[in-house]
Structure 1
């Protein structure tokens, strides 16, 4: 899908394969990627996007599936969450956890976990049983590598898994980050969001582990042109400093600067991380 979308954008700007691939990638490899026959690294993709004046954020928005069942489920859940409609969310949880117990279909467990995750944030109660939590961990770790489904499922279960499990899974995802960067742009970005967002949760629930994760994250070489990764890593570090010294002024200044960037989704993510510590922005 990514290659096909890029091909349409390139042709709409009347740029040849030879011109856009110069000093970045061979024309044959680029052609194969555009036709869905191979993949390219994230670093090369960002250079190519710069050459057609399209940001990574814009490109991702163009490639989001319009009728993906999981995306539709999460979109509906997000809407109910924004309305704090715990009754409807609880019904969704019951429906999906019952379906999982009846069929053992992991998709139902992933959906039930996502519903339980937002319920925890609303009601401060974990509706996922210890056995279901164990099943979730098993499904998330049974493959040699992470994929989009497991990354999203982990990203939507940070509140309802034990801190030790969250810590272990974040480390597992970090260990896979280079592999993900090399095979798929979307997987890589989703992995980074999950690593940072679940680390933010640990700032509140297990401060010592969050500091260990920050140290490891800062050792990684992440793709600087993707602004949200840089911003979120810096914000994670500020939250940890706040927990240590109680000084909220650097966070408030950072939020004001982030607001100026004009990226509402990123700014809202930062506000959510700040709210996790029961603070006002």
Structure 2
């Protein structure tokens, strides 16, 4: 699917195989990938995307089917969150948690957890019971490796799980990051976003653990051309320094620099992280 989407983008910009593959990949290999006959490395894909001025986030969004149930659910939840419609979100939570208790279908638990996570951010109240939290942790850790479903579920439950559980799960995801990079571009990017975003939560809720995670994250080798990873890791470090010395000027300068990059989604993510740390701090 990735190759087919890339091919359409390349042709829409009237760029030939020969021109875009020069000094990056052989023309024949790129052609095979575009036609679903082979794979290419993450590094090469990001370089190719840069040449057609498409960000990895935009590319991923283009490859997600419109009828994807979880994707549609999260889009709707995000819209309700932007409107601070806690009543509708609470109804969604009740519907899904009841369905989970009735069927034991983990998809309902993942949806209920995402709704509860948003409600916590709005109302500062955790609607997920300790038993449901334990069930969620069990489902997230029962496989040998993380997958897109479990990564997304963890990414949408950082507020409502105990700090120790969040810390353990982030470490588990870090341990799987090389595996994810090798098997799936989308899994890898989603994993990095989840690692950093949930680490940002711990900066506020369990500072010592967030410092331990930052040290481990900085030891990792991550794909440099993917700009948002580099930016978010650096921002995480600045937030930790802010918690230590109370000096917000480096963060304000960083946000101004990030704004110049012209990537609204990334800039908004940074603003959300900064707002989270300032709230009641």
What TM-score do the two structures reach when normalised by structure 2?
Answer: 0.92
Is 1:40–1:182's contact at 8 Å kept on the other side of the alignment? no
Which residue in 1 is equivalent to 2:207? 207
Structure 2: unaligned runs, 5 residues or longer: none
Inter-partner Cα distance in structure 2 for 1:54 and 1:256: 22
Structure 1 counterpart of 2:81? 81
Divergent runs of 4+, >6 A: none
Of 202-211 and 262-271, more deviation after overlay is shown by: 262-271
Give the Å deviation of 1:164. 0.8
Verify the 8 A CA contact 1:5 1:62 in the aligned structure 2: yes
Deviations 1:190-210 (CA, angstroms, capped at 9, x unpaired): 111100000000000100000
Return the offset for 1:13: 4.8
| Shift in CA distance, 145/26, structure 1 to aligned 2, threshold 3 Å | farther
Give deviations 1:142-201, integer Å, cap 9, x for gaps: 111111111110000000011111011111111111111122111111111100000000
Aligned to 1:277, the other structure's residue is in SS state helix
**More deviation, 247-256/200-209:** 247-256
Q: In the alignment, is residue 135 of structure 1 matched against residue 106 of structure 2?
A: no
- Which piece of structure 1 moves more, 184-193 or 13-22? 13-22
Greater alpha carbon shift after TM alignment, 200-209 vs 42-51: 42-51
User: Please, which runs of 5 or more residues in structure 1 have no aligned partner?
Assistant: none
**Residue 274 of structure 1 contacts residue 280 of structure 1 at CA under 8 Å; is this kept in 2?**
no
Cα separation, 2, equivalents of 1:174 and 1:33: 28
Q: Report the Cα offset of residue 100 of structure 1.
A: 0.6
The answer as to whether partners of 1:39 and 1:183 remain within 8 angstroms in 2 is no
Instruction: State the alpha-carbon separation in 1 of the partners of residues 249 and 52 from structure 2.
Output: 39
Distance 1:259 1:51, change over 3 A: closer
Q: Give the C-alpha shift of residue 33 in structure 1.
A: 3.0
The Cα of 1:238 is off from its aligned counterpart by 0.5
Contact in 2 for aligned 1:117/1:158 (Cα 8 Å)? yes
1:17·1:31 contact (CA, 8 Å) conserved in 2?
A: yes
Structure 1 CA distance for aligned equivalents of residues 7 and 134 of structure 2: 43
Q: How far off is 1:68 after superposition?
A: 1.3
TM-fit CA distance, 1:65: 2.5
Q: Deviations over 1:118-160 (max 9, x none)?
A: 1111111111111111111111111111111111100000000
CA offsets, 1:45-89, max 9 Å, x none?
Answer: 112323444333442333232221111111111111111111111
CA contact (8 A) 1:140 1:154 kept: yes
The CA distance in 2 between the partners of 1:11 and 1:277, in whole Å, is 44
Q: CA 1:264 to 1:23, structure 2 compared with 1: closer, same or farther past 3 Å?
A: closer
* 1:276 match: secondary structure: helix
Q: Is the 8 A contact 2:47 2:225 kept in 1?
A: no
Using the alignment, how far apart are the partners of 2:126 and 2:259 within structure 1?
Answer: 33
Per the TM alignment, residue 230 of structure 1 is displaced from its structure 2 partner at its CA by 1.0
Relative distance call for 1:124 and 1:25 in structure 2 (3 A) is same
**41-50 or 195-204, which deviates more:** 41-50
Normalising by structure 1, we get a TM-score of 0.92
